[in-house]
Amino acid sequence: MADDFDRQTCPYGFDDYKFNITVFNNASRYCQPNFVDGAQWEAPDISECAYRTATTLKLQKMSQTNITYDNVELIAGELDSITSSEDMITNRLDVKFTADTIESLVNSNKKLSKIAKDIINTTSNMMDFNYTYVTESQVQYKSSSKVLTSLDKLALQLELLSNATIKTTSKNLALAIKPIRRVGKGIAINAKRDQSSGYNKINIEDTQSSQVSLTDTAQILLPELLIRRAAQLDPKSFNRIYSFVFESDRLFLTKKQLEKTLNSSSGQMASGLSEKINSHILSASIGKIKLENLTENEEMQGRFRILSKDPGEVRCVYWDVKIEGMCCTDTSVLVFVLTNFNSKLQIVEDFLLFQI
């Protein structure tokens, strides 16, 4: 009936029996009258729903807190602290609320230089979360997509000081941002494991200064002609080159992983996945400039250490966070095998070499 409420089961009950929590029908949905198109249901109000753990409740309240200049550092630090213990993360909602808070912090654009480390740490923490919770949260709430989009925004919004490169490193994630004032030489982005911390770090330098080492995790080379094309295409955005290196693929899902989650009757990740990411994940961005239809002399080169020598087909894919999910191997879903790309693959001394 229009102009009325419908009581519904709260959405947090998919495995509440494990926590001995009774879930009541405390969600409500309003039916909005519309004499032109017919009555329509609004989104359910779940504000009265019970939560299964104190951590979930705390993360939920944090995700709904208005970010101000006064509280932004406190919230960023507390989020890092809560998520640093993976045992505290017990369901997909914990992942969702963590992602929602990261998005709110970045979108606030307040004290980003002071909270960037906490955001990188929290994202690094997420890559230690239970794989099933992260996958389910991506399938239902697009949590991983939200985090990766927020990381891009963070890298684009951080204030650049003189010509100093910004570097932030955590266990599973590193960020480097290099200011660019004019078109110069080609750029080399190298990810290499630091011997003292054991974490991956990123160096961004001109190609003539760059030295390739067999201990490198990954490398991306941006030729001078590509840099020139970017400067001409969007001079206003041509102010920085930034890069992330991910130690874990936890936030990056393949098409088969998503399908197994969606098709599983239990909603859990199925075992025996036949598709996996076999290198660290290294990104390269020139501001927010989108480059297409590159000539052969403008093509980027990549060099990624192969993590496992398991037999199987080697393919290269990229991620599109705007489509449902993260990674795929055809043009119908998520991410695409690059056209005329696999013919340019080589494996040399445990590294996958390619050109795009």
What is the per-residue pLDDT across 3-32, written as a single tens digit (0 to 9) for each? 566 766 666 544 433 333 444 456 777 788
pLDDT value at residue 107: 97
Residue with tokens 């899902």: 253
Place of tokens 């190298």: 190
**pLDDT tens track for 42-69:** 777 766 666 668 899 899 999 999 999 9
Q: What is the pLDDT of residues 169-181, one digit of tens each?
A: 999 999 999 998 7
Burial class (CB in 10 A: 0-12, 13-18, 19+), 8: middle
For residues 173 and 303, membership in a common domain is answered with yes
- d(CA 317, CA 81) in angstroms, rounded, equals 34
Judgement on whether residues 245 and 105 belong to the same structural domain of the protein: no
DSSP state of 323: S
Task: Quote the pLDDT of residue 3.
Answer: 57
Closest to 248 in 3D by CA, of 129, 104, 338: 129
Whether residues 77 and 179 share a domain: the answer is: no
Q: Count the neighbouring beta carbons within 10 Å of the beta carbon of residue 297.
A: 9
Nearest alpha carbon to residue 213 among 189, 192, 234, 243:
192
Domain membership flag for residue 91: yes
User: What's the predicted TM-score (pTM) here?
Assistant: 0.78
Instruction: Check if the beta carbon of residue 226 is closer than 8 Å to that of residue 294.
Output: yes
Residue 154 lies in a domain: no
The first and second tokens of residue 180, run together, are 């660019």
Q: Could you tell me if 262 and 174 lie in one domain?
A: yes
Percentage, residues of the chain above pLDDT 90: 29
| pLDDT for 342 beyond 90 | no
**Shared domain check, 350 and 251:** yes
Give tens-digit pLDDT for 302-338: 887 777 766 566 666 666 666 544 444 433 322 333 3
Same domain, 220 and 332: yes
Range of the domain at 112: 53-141
340 shares a domain with 280 = yes
Judge whether 147 lies within some domain. no
The C-alpha atoms of residue 207 and residue 222 are separated, in whole angstroms, by 8
321 and 212 within one domain = yes
Give residues with Cβ within 8 angstroms of 315, minimum separation 6.
329, 337, 342
Domains identified in the chain, total number: 3
Q: For tokens 């795009």, what's the residue?
A: 356
Among 80, 82, 93, smallest CA distance to 138 is for: 93
Least confident of 52-56, 143-147, 267-271, 276-280: 267-271
CA 66 vs CA 61, 97, 251, 323, 352: distances in Å = 10, 14, 26, 28, 45
Q: What is the spatial order of strands in the sheet that 4-8 belongs to?
A: 4-8, 27-32, 40-41
